[in-house]
Amino acid sequence: MLSRIAESLFWIGRYVERADNTARLLDVHLNVLLEDPWVDEPSANASILAVMNCEFEGPVSRSDVLATLAFDRDRSSSIAGTMAAARENARRAREVISTEVWESLNMTRNQLPRWSQASRPHEYFVWVRERAAVVWGLSSATTSRDDAWHFMELGRSLERADMIARLLMTRSLEGTTGPNWTTLLRTCSAHEAYLRTVRALVTEERAAEFLLIDRLFPRSIAYNLDRAETILSEIDGAGASRALADRARLALGRARTNLEYRDVGEILADLPAQMREVQKACATASDLIRDRYFLPASTVMWSQEAL
């Protein structure tokens, strides 16, 4: 697989997953604003932007949050921006991805403008999650489990771990008590699965445990870190620079075991910092993957040949 194509596939995976999770996160945030009677809206809005690493000057209104995270076409943390970017990457890797996946991404991009005026953002979020599901469904049904699949899955699982960590950070936003754990479980489509697995009412510790380290549920952080590690070991190209890929696995594994072997009460007491560690591990792994698989080994060739 060409390095350039692999990089595009990796980012398609990340972008589509990011759009999906941003939609979930915004949906829950707007709900909190409605339901929390003592909410301090500007600071709650400011801190959700901070969670998504967006800078903003002055008091932040609800529509600012939506403009920044939902509709801005030029931002890598907005839904519209990531969906459009996923489509551009798909165009670059057009000959590798299946026609069905390409068309679903292309259609999504084409339909984006009609949502920018949506009066009910909730419908937009539902649509985004549906489109992401269509992309994943088609890609899972039409892609050979070769490197093309691996790189897309790798991007997706990294992004999912990262985004769930960001979502959990909203538990401790400024200016609001934040969403309760039932809401968080619902946001991750985990409520039913939680009830079946834990067989008990939602308690803080159990719910946190479920979203952090459940081994079977596909939207727990540990599940996705583990998945990324596995994929990294499955990607071909063992050999000379194996070390870099191993270091990526190391970063992910360390973050995962930290969650798995630490007392959940301890994590909850220090949730924002712990979640930041998860995000950092994902970023480190992402950089190492780039260095290992996507960057040219050297760019001095042309002067060598010229001499």
Partner 1 sequence: MTSDSLHTPWTGYSPQAAWDEAVDVHGKVREPYARVYAEIDRMSGDDLYARAEALASTYLAQGVTFDHAGEERPFPLDIVPRVIGADEWDIISPGVAQRVRTLEAFLADVYGSQRCVTDGIVPRKLIASSQYFYRSVAGVDPANGVRVHVSGIDLVRDQHGIWRVLEDNVRVPSGVSYVLSNRRAMSQMFPDMFGAMGVRPVLEYSQRLRSALAKAAPEDVDDPTIVVLTPGVFNSAYYEHSLLARTMGVELVEGRDLETHNGRVYMRTTAGRRRVDVIYRRIDDDYLDPIAFRPDSTLGAPGLINAARMGNVTIANAVGNGVADDKLIYTYMPDLTRYYLGEEPILPNVDTWRLEEPEAREEVMDRLHELVVKPVDGAGGKGVTIGPKVSKTELEAVRKQILADPRGWVAQPVVQLSTVPTLTEEGLDPRHVDLRPFAINDGDDVWVLPGGLTRVALAKGQLIVNSSQGGGSKDTWVLGGVRHRGTAQPPPEARVEFSGIGSVPQASHPEDYAAGQEQQQQQQQQGEPKATAQADDAADHLGANGHDGGEG
Does position 301 interact with partner 1 (CB under 8 A)? The reply is yes
- Maximum pairwise Cα distance, the chain: 73
Residue type, 276: R
Q: Give whichever of 103 and 123 is closer to partner 1, judged by the CB atom.
A: 103
Token pair for 262:
């630490």
Binding segment for partner 1 (CB under 8 A), chosen from 12-20, 23-31, 75-83, 93-101, is 93-101
Cα–Cα distance, 167 to 100 (Å, whole number): 31
Q: Is 58 in the site for partner 1 (CB under 8 A)?
A: no
**CA 212 → CA 160, 216, 220, 232, 255, distances in Å?**
12, 11, 5, 21, 11
Outline where 38-146 has alpha helix (H).
Answer: 41-51, 62-66, 79-92, 99-111, 121-142
Residue 146 lies near partner 1 (rule: CB under 8 A): no
Tell me the closest approach of the beta carbon of residue 297 to partner 1, in angstroms.
7
Q: How far is the CB of 139 from partner 1 (least distance, A)?
A: 16
Q: Is 107 in the site for partner 1 (CB under 8 A)?
A: yes
**Beta carbon nearer to partner 1, 55 or 305:** 305
Q: Which two tokens stand for residue 247?
A: 């270091």
Site string for partner 1, 232-251 (x = CB under 8 A): ---xxx-xx-----------
CB 178 within 8 A of CB 305: no
CB 227 within 8 A of CB 252: no
Number of residues located near partner 1, criterion CB under 8 A: 32
Interface with partner 1, residue 3, by CB under 8 A: yes
DSSP classification of residue 200: S
Residue 74 contacts partner 1 per CB under 8 A = no
Burial code (b: 16+ CB inside 10 Å, e: under 16) for 7-26 equals: bbbbbbbbbbbbbbbbbbbb
Stretch that binds partner 1, among 13-21, 92-100, 191-199, 219-227 (CB under 8 A): 92-100
Stretch that binds partner 1, among 48-56, 66-74, 257-265, 290-298 (CB under 8 A): 290-298
- Of 34, 53, 59, 103, which lies in the binding site for partner 1, with binding defined by CB under 8 A? 103
Q: Rule CB under 8 A: which residues touch partner 1? A: 1-6, 88, 91-92, 94-95, 99, 102-103, 106-107, 110, 147, 151, 235-237, 239-240, 293-294, 296-297, 301-302, 305-306
